[in-house]
Chain A
Amino acid sequence: MKKGILINIAKALLLARWRQTLVAATGVTFSIAMFITLLSFMSGLNDLLDGLILNRTPHVKLYNDIKPNVNQPVNDVAAFKDKHNFISSVKSDAARIAIYNSGAIMKNLDLDNRVLGFTPRLTAQIFFNNGSTEITGALNGIDPIKEAKLFHFNEYVTSGDAIDLNNESNTIILGKGLAEKLIASIGTIVQISTSNGERFQLKVIGIFQSGLKDFDDVQSYTSIKTVQKVLIKPNDYITAIDVKLKNILLAPALAKEYARVYELDAEDIQTANSQFETGSFIRTLISYAVGITLLVVAGFGIYNILNMMIFEKMDSIAILKATGFSGSDVKNIFIYIAVSIGIFGGLVGLLFGLIISSIIDQIPFVTAALPTIKTYPINYNPNFYIIGIIFSLITTYFAGWFPARKASKIDPVIIIRGK
């Protein structure tokens, strides 16, 4: 009842000056719309760029690095044990790039409920024989079904079907750049040779395009079995296990744990791709900074309108106080005015933000580097809308608070004497 009367007065004052109110609300609308658009677009862009690298990168990669053994024999000799031993010309031992006991490790990963999934991998350095020239390349042995499920592999296979790697033996999927160099298309037979001099003939069943040129120029995919055959290795020979976690934030901790438990090297995604997170962070920061700046400007608009209103309505404020409205009642009236400008302007702003972002979503954006992208990316995250309306409420509240406080302090005696 008491609140109702204050709201009624606020409404009457608002409607009496609806033109100025509309201008103030438009300021809020504009800034919220920009805020939503910017944030949706920037975070769409973030997702896209993240997708480019992060989606394809394992959260934890288990492998054996080529490096010198830390346990050199001299350190085990009793006489030199507590000494500092200088050993020069230590050589790496390459024999251990295979993951020992890979079957058991994979069984354990299967049971680990922090793990979303994993795929074994086997990589061989090979040469593609193209007439008289040899092109260096990498042959990745993968499990196409798991790769598609965990790392969106199928999205980058622009022609052919990755599953065919399982269906047909001696098949290969080439990177787009590599295929161009080899003048290969689906059905072409390419010849490869290993560093040991073994030669193989593989049939091209697909072309993939990741969007990263350096990658597409050297990489090729086949089944794990084929690589094992090429390298003349047993069928438990794999060189890496790519693990995808349920919670990406656990990656550094789990990488350490796996490295310790399985006695191999483990690299987490944060360490491998720290620059991407920085980029995303900066883009998000810019969106927020622009949105908040615009809102502050809109806030000043509201501040001005309210000051003007209070100046014009001195008499009304004086009589309200004389007839029993307290200072805080008067303050609330003006805060209601400010906040309703904020709610109205903010909601319309959200709507416009949605409209503008869906228009951007329709603008064609075709680039060779991103085969799966057809239009500009937009992220319709409802959180942006919630943050937007909260921001607009907070700014308008503060914009209203100062003039409202001034109004609450008006001394009716001074006004009434002045008449």
Chain B
Amino acid sequence: MNQIILEAKHVNKYFEDPVRIKVLSDVNFTINKGEFVSLTGKSGCGKSTLLYVLSTMDTAYDGEVLIDQEIMPKSNESFLAKIRNEKIGFVFQFHYLLNEFNVLENVMLPGLKLAKFTKEEIEHRAYEKLRLLDIEKLALKKANQISGGEKQRVAIARALINDPHIIMGDEPTGNLDKKNSDLVFDLFSKIVTELNQTLLIVTHDESFAERTNRIIKMEDGRIII
């Protein structure tokens, strides 16, 4: 039972500035539900660019991106925002927590936006995610009062709050030391096995990539394996 969650069909992308260069050329691949995939390659080969295209935040590309077997339109900003809210979770290198809110509220934000559940239910679910990531005790701390590793774990909890189809990460361990990045990796494995989540993580870390189910390797805007 291999349900396709994410699919790229002939994705090409150019940057015009300062000269026209091709950053993605004919990218094709599929990711199935429950897969833990890492995306690697040399710096500048187009990993981040591909991830932004797949995440629907960048719509200036040719070809098709399908999320949950649905073709993503290239305009309709509010529809894409809804897709991101409901179906995609993000973890970036930088945590992007809102300092005005506490940890719990940060995790709840995308859930409140989706408004599929009541506020109480969302709070309950946020606590569940925090417990899963072992940071329940930080719930009521302000976002700027916790450590870098903890922030990244809060960001993962936030990515999980709406039970998305896929979680995308752009070097989520890039800023962390060995101990913390191992911890984050373990948490990723945990959400894949326990929640049957699908993960697509861009990383430079060889040992991180090796431990995932599958490696997609890029070179000069192409997928080589």
Contacts and interface: CB of A to CB of B under 8 A. Distances in A.
Given A1-B115, A316-B98, A419-B92, A323 B158 contact: yes
A318 interface: yes
B100 A322 contact: no
A322 to B, nearest CB: 5
Contact of B113 (A5, A12, A16, A327): A5
Interface string A401-415: 000000000011100
B82 A417 contact: no
B99 A16 contact: yes
Contact of A319 (B81, B82, B86, B98): B98
B77 A1 contact: no
Interface string B83-102: 11110001011101111110
A47 B158 CA distance: 64
A15 interface: yes
Contacts of B115: 1-2, 5
Contact of B82 (A322, A324, A416): A324
Nearest to A14: B100
B216 interface: no
Interface string B105-145: 00001101111000100000000000000000000000000
Contacts of A16: 99-100
A65 to B, nearest CB: 74
A13 interface: yes
Contact of A323 (B93, B94, B113): B113
A328 interface: yes
A416 B92 contact: yes
Interface residues of A, number: 30
Interface stretch (B50-58, B176-184, B194-202): B50-58
B100 A324 contact: no
Contacts, number: 82
A326 B98 CA distance: 17
Nearest to A409: B77
A42 B86 CA distance: 58
Interface of A is mostly: helix
Contacts of A329: 81, 113
A326 B112 contact: no
A256 interface: no
A329 B110 CA distance: 12
Contacts of B147: none
A12 B101 contact: yes
Nearest to A12: B100
Contact of B114 (A4, A13, A324, A419): A324
B207 interface: no
Interface in B55-86: 55, 57-58, 77-78, 81-86
B113 A321 contact: no
B32 interface: no
A413 B52 contact: yes
A319 B99 contact: no
A417 B83 CA distance: 21
A325 interface: yes
B57 A324 contact: no
B96 A315 contact: yes
A326 B86 CA distance: 13
A16 B98 CA distance: 11
A324 B92 contact: no
B90 A323 contact: yes
Contacts of A412: 57
B48 interface: yes
Given A319-B96, A323-B109, A419-B92, A328 B57 contact: no
Nearest to B110: A323
Given A322-B92, A324-B82, 9 more contacts: A5-B112, A13-B100, A319-B90, A323-B85, A323-B109, A326-B81, A327-B81, A416-B96, A417-B48
5 contacts: A1-B112, A13-B100, A316-B96, A320-B109, A324-B110
Closest 4 CB pairs of A and B: A324-B85, A319-B96, A326-B81, A12-B100
